């Protein structure tokens, strides 16, 4: 496959995780089932702790917002205040989390709780973050050339740091200059990419965003960010129009950097 040229003014890489640095199967077959299998037990064990209370508070705010916008059935909009029965209250949160996951929602509330739950799984060695083998060598090369590398994922910053801190490649957190999650905005909104450029302190067209999802690529492009769509096994199929519109790569090694051989 011909190399995809990174524009001459591009000196910042912004990387998606699921489907880009990491197989979708790791997220769908390892990370998400861990949440489904453990959420009830986790909430029961941590219910009285501040961190857990904050997570539940955020989930409740999201559920209230969803109800207002008719996004969920009544069972998924829980109201802790009416519950004296802890078990029932926990069950409502569990139902909400499972419903959000069935819808593959990327709410900050869901992602925050998930990040906290994965902490124990990573630190006890139960799971290790899967990273495609072309990713670390490519990033090391980019960094040698003076480029900056950031992550932007729907997974919380804490979840991102766990994935790369306890990865199949070891602790590779030093490869990243920073992390962004949905606290900066949704990945399908172009404003989020403008905010990221402001936060990094560069113009949008200095950034090259790599993602598997064209709805994210489109939003980034609208903000003036350069994009390439990453084609990995198991990623969503692209239409012929998408294939001809976007620069496509199947490995990070296919990116040709300005001034490099």
User: Burial of 160 by CB count in 10 Å (0-12 exposed, 13-18 middle, 19+ buried)?
Assistant: buried
Q: Which of 90, 117, 135, 159 binds ligand L4RZE5RM (CB under 6 A)?
A: 159
* Residue 212 among known ligand-binding residues: yes
Q: CB under 6 A: which stretch of 95-103, 138-146, 159-167, 220-228 binds ligand L4RZE5RM?
A: 159-167
Q: Which one of the spans 10-18, 166-174, 196-204, 217-225 is the region binding Mg ion (CB under 5 A)?
A: 10-18
Q: Is 160 in the site for ligand L4RZE5RM (CB under 6 A)?
A: yes
16 is in an annotated binding site: yes
Shortest distance (Å) from residue 154 CB to ligand L4RZE5RM = 4
Site string for ligand L4RZE5RM, 35-74 (x = CB under 6 A): ----------------------------------------
Q: Considering beta carbons, is residue 246 or 257 the nearer one to ligand L4RZE5RM?
A: 246
The reply to whether 115 sits near Mg ion by the rule CB under 5 A is no
* Residue 16, beta-bridge partner list: none
| Among 4, 5, 25, 27, interactor with ligand L4RZE5RM by CB under 6 A | 27
Assess 255 for contact with ligand L4RZE5RM (CB under 6 A).
no
Interface with Mg ion includes 181 (CB under 5 A)?
Answer: no
Closest-by-Cβ residue to ligand L4RZE5RM is 155
Question: Nearer to ligand L4RZE5RM by C-beta: 17 or 228?
Answer: 17
């Amino acid at each position: 496959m011909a190399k995809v040229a990174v524009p001459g003014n591009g000196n910042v890489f912004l990387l998606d995780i699921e489907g880009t640095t990491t197989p979708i199967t790791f997220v769908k077959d390892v990370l998400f089932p861990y949440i489904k299998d453990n959420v009830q037990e986790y909430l029961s064990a941590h219910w009285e702790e501040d961190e857990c209370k904050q997570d539940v508070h955020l989930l409740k705010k999201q559920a209230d917002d969803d109800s207002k916008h008719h996004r969920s059935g009544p069972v998924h909009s829980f109201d802790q205040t009416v519950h004296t029965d802890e078990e029932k209250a926990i069950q409502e949160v569990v139902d909400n989390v499972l419903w959000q996951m069935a819808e593959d929602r990327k709410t900050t509330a869901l992602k925050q709780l998930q990040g906290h739950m994965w902490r124990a799984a990573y630190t006890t060695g139960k799971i290790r973050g899967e990273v495609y083998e072309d990713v670390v060598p490519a990033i090391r090369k980019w960094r040698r050339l003076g480029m900056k590398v950031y992550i932007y994922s729907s997974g919380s910053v804490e979840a991102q740091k766990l994935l790369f801190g306890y990865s199949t490649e070891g602790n590779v957190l030093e490869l990243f200059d920073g992390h962004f999650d949905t606290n900066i905005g949704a990945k399908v909104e172009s404003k989020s990419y403008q905010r990221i450029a402001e936060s990094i302190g560069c113009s949008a067209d200095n950034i090259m965003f790599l993602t598997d999802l064209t709805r994210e690529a489109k939003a980034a492009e609208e903000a003036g960010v350069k994009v390439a769509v990453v084609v990995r096994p198991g990623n969503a199929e692209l239409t012929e129009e998408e294939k001809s519109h976007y620069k496509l790569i199947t490995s990070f090694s296919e990116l040709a950097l300005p001034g490099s051989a």
